[in-house]
Amino acid sequence: MPAYLVFLCEEVSDRRELEAYWSKIKPTFEGHVGTPLAAYTPFEILEDGQKRGPIHGVSIHEFPSVEAAKAWYDSPAYREIREKHRFKGATYLGMIVEGGYKPADERMAHTKNNIPA
């Protein structure tokens, strides 16, 4: 099952550190199967129920599985640039989303008790 690594850039604190991160990220994919689907292309926010601050950029990569996405994210090469540059340059909301489609009665089972009286 494919998986998608999605990152939303919420704040840029040091553009130079962020640019250093971007300049070093490509080699971290060596030995990993990850396909960039969108990286900092134009986007439009359609809903913002959390009222979070502005989103400055979006990055989406496809991997063959959740395990493959985690293997890249936890790899020594990526961990090094993430800690040295990305954490210093910007704040992101990052997530791995498993591909597929669940029927409505199987979605978000942890919320089944949240029914107003």
| pLDDT bucket at 117, cuts 50 / 70 / 90 | low
pLDDT score recorded for residue 105: 87
pLDDT score recorded for residue 106: 87
| Full domain range(s) for residue 81 | 3-46+53-99
* Number of Cβ within a 10 Å radius of residue 34: 18
Any domain includes 114? no
Report pLDDT digits (tens) over 61-115.
999 999 999 999 999 999 999 999 999 999 999 999 999 998 888 888 888 887 7
pTM of the predicted protein model? 0.86
Q: Name the nearest CA neighbour of 11 among 86, 92, 84.
A: 92
Report pLDDT digits (tens) over 17-62.
999 999 999 999 999 999 999 999 999 988 887 777 789 999 999 9
pLDDT score recorded for residue 12: 96
**Tokens 């130079």 sit on residue:** 16
Any domain includes 111? no
Q: Residue 14 is part of a domain; what is its CATH number? A: 3.30.70.100
Any domain includes 59? yes
Q: What is the number of residues in the chain? A: 117
Any domain includes 116? no
Any domain includes 109? no
Q: Which residues of 63-95 are buried (b: 16+ CB within 10 A; e: fewer)?
A: beebebbebbbebebbeebbeebbeebbebeee
pLDDT score recorded for residue 43: 93
Q: How many domains does the chain have?
A: 1
